[in-house]
Structure 1
Amino acid sequence: MKRLCLITLAMTFMGVGAFAQVVNSNHGKRFEQLERMLRDPSVYRSASGAPGPQYWQQKADYKIEATLDDENQRLTGAETITYYNNSPDPLEYLWIALDENVRKPDNDSYKFEPSRIRPRMTYDQLDALDGHDNDWGFHIMEVKDAKGADMKYTINQTMMRVDLKSTLKPGSKIELNIKWWYNTTPRAISGARGGHEYFPEDGNYIYTMTGWFPRMAVYSDFQGWNNKQFTGRGEFALTFGDYDVKMTVPADHVVGSTGVLSNAKSVLTSEQQKRWEQAKKELVEPVKIVTLEEAKENEKNKASGTKTWHYKADDVRDFAWTSSRKFVWDAMAVEIEGRSDKPMAMSYYAKEAYGIYERYSTKAVAHTLRTYSRFTIPYPYPVAISVEASNGMEYPMICFNYGRTLPDGTYAESTKYGAIGVIIHEVGHNFFPMIVNSDERQWTWMDEGLNTFMQYLTEQEFDPNYPHRRGPAHKIAPYMALPKTQLEPIMTNSENIIGFGNNQYAKAAAGLNILRETIMGRELFDFAFKEYARRWAFKHPTPDDLFRTLEDASAVDIDWFIKGWYFTIDNVDIAIDDVKWYQLSTKNPEIEYPILKERAKQSQSDLAANRNRAEGRKFYVEEDERLQDFYYSYDQFEVTDAAKAAYQRFDATLSDEERAILGDKANFYEIEFSNVGGLVMPIIIEWTFADGTKEVDRIPAYIWRKNEEKVTKAFMKKKEVVQIKLDPDRETADTDVSNNYFPRVNKPSRFELFKSRGGAARGQSSGSNPMQRAGGR
């Protein structure tokens, strides 16, 4: 092709946001392959991210009998654990988790956080300075083997080591028998995940039994025993097994639980049994097994005696239950693609939550099961339960949520969406980590982050106007822009994180959303994410297995993104530093000379000369004509015959392709970008043209691989550009959008005067309540 001449029309912006001096190489750090940071593959975990040919995991089966003392809020239990050593290692001792011990008076968790004296303090805050004198935590009465002989054990905070008289060899099993009791804690005071809530208006309790029995810790190929202490934040790493559990409770209590009820005829009335059978056929509206009227009657007229509820669950990693005489119970069946039978979606809730939960809870459960199943694996368990208990916590097949109305039955819209959101989130935990069983004690984000991402997808399909708190990339940008002293990498143990929710939930979820929407694309990401769930269902994955599977199943190199997003505290801030505009010279004097003449005139114009002419000044060269030589009247931009002939000779040498480019009157733009935040990301450019139309170019993040601080990219556009904007849909979590524009755009910020309000019980309706002002629902 002939050499075509570019002429610079304008240098419209340059020199803003100078970048810090680069030390040593300016590239290679962020695009180094991730393998150096991951565990080496093994026969247990393959380089592809799949379980290896010799993958193994332990198993623990439980038989438990427990009695709830409603007068003293105490739980007493006896359990038999059958533990199977499927590992290649001989074991000399076993570790058992006693999570309830986190509330014991002498537990270290009370001492971890800094404290100070404030001008105004509550009684509980002052009392805490003098230590704790409660009688919370496990009382272990005995630990015996299958023959009834005492076993030696040592309790260290929330962990109990049981020493074995003989080595537990690979392929063998052992039976332990433990008796225990503990006082359930008032959740509002203790901050515990389980415990009880008292309702003074009717004198009744709602019990949520979580972490309520001694449970086997995980022994795995990648870390041995996970006996890291429970401090109240990093949640649970547990072993799969089968459960056979009997709970003896007051006769008028309704019990919801992990598993399937085995003795419905013994604990339900004949009418309730008929409703249960009807619910199994209902796919549209939940059927009330226990009605509001029956729940209110139970509240008023407390029955004497007890009933024993018998539940069984297979292949679960934990077991939780709830008990109260206040409960309404409803249920419906759910069609799940890939399943011939239909799991049951169910809810338990008191009258205080009736206005929200009766309408939304069970349907939100069903919607969650359908959506998660489509993106991961078909929901494998027989039931999924939502319990309104003024908190938010998850266990296999059952979760505890919040969302109560005001006494008149109305509620704020924020309370409604808050309740739906927490139901979706906690029910979704059935998939992550109850089925895809990651280690929450080590990597909270693999539980909360993956689940928050799936929650976002599920909320999107629930309501097109859903007010998402987490998921969209731009929602995490303010957190990522915080001072570095307030930030930690996602790959940080939960106890060490300041902004826990933003880090482990929101940032981790936003990262997956960016992978799906911006870097990998939906089709490739969805396939790879589904493959990860399929590979690791009912197994113990690590972050390495997730990262490797996403690449293995997509053929997209995302090492640079994983390193930056999950292992560093860099933020995204790509700036436009310089824009240059060029056009091709056509060499046609009839086109080019008028342009050049006007530019020369503008370059020679200045303020003083313009004012002199405006004032009618006489110029010497005009008064004395002898000063006017050839050049006084010469016009270098006159279109002469010679100039036309020269152009015709040039035009005759052009190919059709070259002549087409000249005929399009193309505009050429050279943009210089800087990576201010440090986290590399695709460059997404929105062009706005003079005719009002727009166009988007997407430049892969690999453009930064040879210079991670500054890059320049040239573009050809057939129309003149009037504005350039980076990341128009806010999909990269850019923390400073002020440098995303050319020309710069100044947008005013709005603020409002507000008054702070006192705290309310979690889940109690608060905020704007148009429903109440309108006089009802």
Structure 2
Amino acid sequence: MKRLYILSGLIVFVSSLSIAQDIQNNPGSNHGNKFEQLGTILPTPNEQRTASGAPGVKYWQQRADYDIKCELDEKNLTLKGSETVTYTNNSPDPLTYIWLQLDENEHSSDRNANYQDASRFPSTLTTGSIDNASKKSNNNLGINITKITDVAGKNLAYTVNKTMMRVDLPIALKNGQKFIFNIDWNYHISNRQTVGGRGGYEFFPEDGNYLFTMSQWYPRLCVYSDFQGWQNHQFTGRGEFALTFGDFKVQMTVPADHLIGSTGECINYTAVLNPLQLSRYNAARKSSVPIEIQTLNEAKLAETRKSTAKKTWVFHANNVRDFAWTSSRKFIWDGMNQKIEGNGNNVMCMSFYGKEAYNLYSKFSTRAVAHTIKTYSDFTIPYPYPVAQSIEASNGMEYPMICFNYGRTNSDGTYSESTKNGMLGVIIHEVGHNFFPMIVNSDERQWTWMDEGLNSFVEYLTEELWDNTFPSKKGPAYTIVDYMKLPKDELEPIMTNSENITRFGPNAYSKPATGLNILRETIMGRELFDFAFKQYAKRWAFKHPTPADLFRTMEDASGEDLDWFWRGWFYGTDACDISLDSVKFAQPDFATRTDPTRIEMVKIDKPLLNSFDDISKIKNRSDMKISFYVDKDVATHDFYYKYDRGLVSVDNTTATKTEETSNLELVPVNEQQKYAGKYLYELNFSNKGGLVMPIIVQFTYKDGSTEIDRIPAQIWRHNEKSTSKFYAKDKEVASILIDPLRETADIDTSNNIWGADKAKESKFQLYKAKAASARGQSSGINPMQSAGGK
């Protein structure tokens, strides 16, 4: 999920388990900690997950296939459904029960897993504040399970615990076996504008219509994995989902005048579309620009004619971990083709949006979808699915082949630049989630950053390739500085369970994205990083990776030891603050003589015997069975054999020794010119922030030219608190600036300069988008309005 939701003036946070550690090898020392290998911090490699970061020869994962039928009742705002699940146990473990997620219980007043945070009297009292603080009876939300049976129709025992449901199996399900069961269920659809959450409905009072986003809408299997067993941590609204791959067949019965966008491909368009819509759809599949399948005028007309008839849409999706859909009569619908290099896949890129978003979405949405899957394919793996689509629904959330995004214009059709950029950013981000975690299927409930952080990083690469002036906020190192400089009691490591994170956005999105970009641009270089990152995506596509699998793969595929980086950036809260403390400057001065010969008073060595006769020597001498080699072989009786035993006499009084004390010689006159013009500098640095990072030094010479030296982070290995670097330059230095391009997220640049009267720090124009309203519209007078809507 991409936004923190504000519900009636309250920002809701939740809590669970934190797992983060920074084991130090040499605590209290100025070295031997930050560059120590991660060692036992990472799980022990095994036959499922190798030390290289690749899946092992005995890697396995479960499978869940779904056949679902459901019906949307727009009048009563309910959804009822039945599903048949085929669960395959590929694990070596016999299973006596299985766990399913009932995410709709998040909205229930008595079946949720809110685990509430502390609260205070609100600064501004609203009716919503009082409602949230009131004790309520059952609000009639949450999923109702009406029946669970096996394939023969026999009832199965089950237990609902908040947002989780355990189904007990009649007999143990062994390796390689399948279990087929049926679930009937229903629930009242919630108003996501007031209740919050990822799915639900939005009502448009001006035209009396609804827009439904159906997500987490069916009971779905939890992951059972080799590294965790059942991932059945309760859903509190923050930590997202760990899900099992499978095939889906879904039939949705909705009002006949609705259009549906969905995970997968519709297999009965001929039955649900009129001939004109069908012909436009087929044309869009071959078009390199968006073609409207349902036009703006047709959508406006549909809003005024509410059909009482019904239609059933049927979709198939193969090898996906989830399924979501949207339904409304308000939709404009457009599409275009995007060919993917690498697998030759022709992807139908589509957008569904209301008239409220037309001037933005018709221009940008589908083009942004196409750009995103192409760019992500270049950086990871070729996009494998037949469809990718963006739905304007004034929120942000992702599912396989479909995502929900904001981005509406003002009533006059104009929009601000921040609204445009915000819309583009959220579309790229949500469409990008097809790769992380929909394909590279990490456990979001445990490690939000593996989903959001990795995706935010590739989002940044994609935004940069969309428009070189795009004001990206997740990726550039300088944008994370304000977070990194916070007091330690306001921070936690990236390697923290999602429920425990206080500043969720910077920790789970921006800091990991920034770290990966620093690896790519500053530490590893693009060629090494891109190869290793692609390798990770290839290895773990359609599998369940852990953080260790990413860390190990990046090192295995690049030949770079990055444990110091993972330790500092992901397991710690230290910031980068490298200070240029002092600069020593000199020019060569040629010696005219060498050091004289020295006469030294020396002493003759005494016999080298231990000062104390230890018990082993005493016992060995007294043991008649032991004989010593030198006593048996007289050939070993050299001078010292006799000297040690006092058999020879040596005068050990003080003697004199003549010694040449220098191995230096004068520089020949004909070579002096080579070194006479050198300027010598010693730069002394201290690590004030605690995070070891590369030192990037920019020299500005007196002739105005500049030069940059990039010192790897390993310069801190033997002293993590201070270090130095000696330079011999051909020109005199006027000033020195550390980290001139702000690549390391240094939190204090005031100590980065020597020769401050001459050094000019690089300037960056920073952009800050206005906070978008609930519908992603701008406030105030935007430039388009001022220019007459042009």
Q: Report what 2:240 is aligned to.
A: 235
**CA positional deviation for 1:124:** 1.2
The AA in structure 1 aligned to 2:546 is T
Q: Deviations over 1:95-140 (max 9, x none)?
A: 0011111111024544512111134211111111113442111011
Q: Report what 2:344 is aligned to.
A: 340
Q: Is the 8 A contact 1:414 1:767 kept in 2?
A: no
**CA positional deviation for 1:661:** 3.2
Structure 1 unaligned residues grouped into runs of 5+: 1-21, 589-649, 751-755
Report the TM-score, using the length of structure 1 for normalisation. 0.86
Q: Report what 1:554 is aligned to.
A: 558
**Structure with greater helix percent:** 1
Between 351-360 and 125-134, the greater mean CA deviation after superposition: 125-134
Q: Report what 2:287 is aligned to.
A: 282
Q: CA RMSD in A?
A: 2.1
Q: Deviations over 1:334-390 (max 9, x none)?
A: 011012341111000000000100000000000001100001000000000100000
Q: Report what 2:413 is aligned to.
A: 409
**CA positional deviation for 1:306:** 0.5
Q: Deviations over 1:663-705 (max 9, x none)?
A: 4x11111111000110000100000111111000111100000
Q: Report what 2:126 is aligned to.
A: 122
SS in 1 for 2:435: helix
**CA positional deviation for 1:722:** 1.2
Q: Report what 1:646 is aligned to.
A: none
Task: Give distance in 2, aligned partners of 1:576 and 1:659.
Answer: 32
Q: Report what 1:203 is aligned to.
A: 208
Q: Report what 1:575 is aligned to.
A: 579
* Correspondences of 1:82-481 after superposition (within 5 Å): 82-107=86-111, 109-133=113-137, 134-283=139-288, 285-481=289-485
Q: Out of 706, 712, 720, which is 2:724 matched to?
A: 712
Q: Report what 1:636 is aligned to.
A: none
Q: Out of 730, 737, 757, which is 1:725 matched to?
A: 737
Task: Give distance in 2, aligned partners of 1:768 and 1:379.
Answer: 40
**CA positional deviation for 1:163:** 0.7
Between 532-541 and 763-772, the greater mean CA deviation after superposition: 763-772
The reply to whether residue 689 of structure 1 matches residue 693 of structure 2 is no
Task: Give distance in 2, aligned partners of 1:184 and 1:581.
Answer: 73
Q: Report what 1:507 is aligned to.
A: 511
Task: Give distance in 2, aligned partners of 1:226 and 1:426.
Answer: 24
SS in 1 for 2:193: helix
The AA in structure 2 aligned to 1:321 is W
Q: Out of 667, 674, 699, which is 2:679 matched to?
A: 667
SS in 1 for 2:155: coil
The AA in structure 2 aligned to 1:534 is K
Q: Is the 8 A contact 2:523 2:694 kept in 1?
A: yes
The reply to whether residue 523 of structure 1 matches residue 536 of structure 2 is no
The AA in structure 2 aligned to 1:166 is I
* Correspondences of 1:630-649 after superposition (within 5 Å): none
Q: Deviations over 1:40-78 (max 9, x none)?
A: 111001111000001000000000001001011111010
SS in 2 for 1:584: coil
Q: Is the 8 A contact 2:740 2:761 kept in 1?
A: no
**CA positional deviation for 1:587:** 6.4
Q: Is the 8 A contact 2:418 2:770 kept in 1?
A: no
The AA in structure 2 aligned to 1:153 is Y
SS in 2 for 1:187: coil
The AA in structure 1 aligned to 2:574 is D
SS in 1 for 2:374: helix
Q: Report what 2:13 is aligned to.
A: none
Q: Deviations over 1:573-620 (max 9, x none)?
A: 0001111111111569xxxxxxxxxxxxxxxxxxxxxxxxxxxxxxxx
Q: Is the 8 A contact 2:81 2:184 kept in 1?
A: yes
Q: Report what 1:760 is aligned to.
A: 773
* CA gap 1:23/1:344 in 2 versus in 1, 3 angstroms: closer
Q: Deviations over 1:394-430 (max 9, x none)?
A: 0000000000000110000000000000000000000
Q: Out of 37, 40, 50, which is 1:33 matched to?
A: 37
Q: Is the 8 A contact 1:586 1:662 kept in 2?
A: no
Task: Give distance in 2, aligned partners of 1:301 and 1:427.
Answer: 32
The AA in structure 1 aligned to 2:788 is G
* CA gap 1:263/1:554 in 2 versus in 1, 3 angstroms: same
Q: Deviations over 1:414-450 (max 9, x none)?
A: 0000000000000000000000000000100000000
SS in 2 for 1:399: strand
Task: Give distance in 2, aligned partners of 1:758 and 1:724.
Answer: 39
Task: Give distance in 2, aligned partners of 1:717 and 1:291.
Answer: 68
Calculate percent identity across the aligned residue pairs.
58
SS in 2 for 1:86: coil
The AA in structure 1 aligned to 2:475 is G
**CA positional deviation for 1:188:** 1.3
Task: Give distance in 2, aligned partners of 1:129 and 1:236.
Answer: 28
The AA in structure 1 aligned to 2:672 is R
**CA positional deviation for 1:652:** 8.9
Task: Give distance in 1, aligned partners of 2:389 and 2:733.
Answer: 56
The reply to whether residue 565 of structure 1 matches residue 578 of structure 2 is no
Q: Is the 8 A contact 2:419 2:772 kept in 1?
A: no
Q: Report what 2:754 is aligned to.
A: 742
Q: Report what 1:700 is aligned to.
A: 712
Between 231-240 and 287-296, the greater mean CA deviation after superposition: 287-296
Task: Give distance in 1, aligned partners of 2:282 and 2:186.
Answer: 36
Q: Is the 8 A contact 1:413 1:768 kept in 2?
A: no
Q: Deviations over 1:507-532 (max 9, x none)?
A: 00000000000111000000000000
Q: Deviations over 1:160-193 (max 9, x none)?
A: 0011110001110101100111111111111110
Q: Is the 8 A contact 1:216 1:239 kept in 2?
A: yes
The AA in structure 1 aligned to 2:683 is I
The reply to whether residue 542 of structure 1 matches residue 555 of structure 2 is no
The AA in structure 2 aligned to 1:770 is P
Task: Give distance in 1, aligned partners of 2:539 and 2:405.
Answer: 30
Q: Report what 1:776 is aligned to.
A: 789
SS in 1 for 2:279: helix
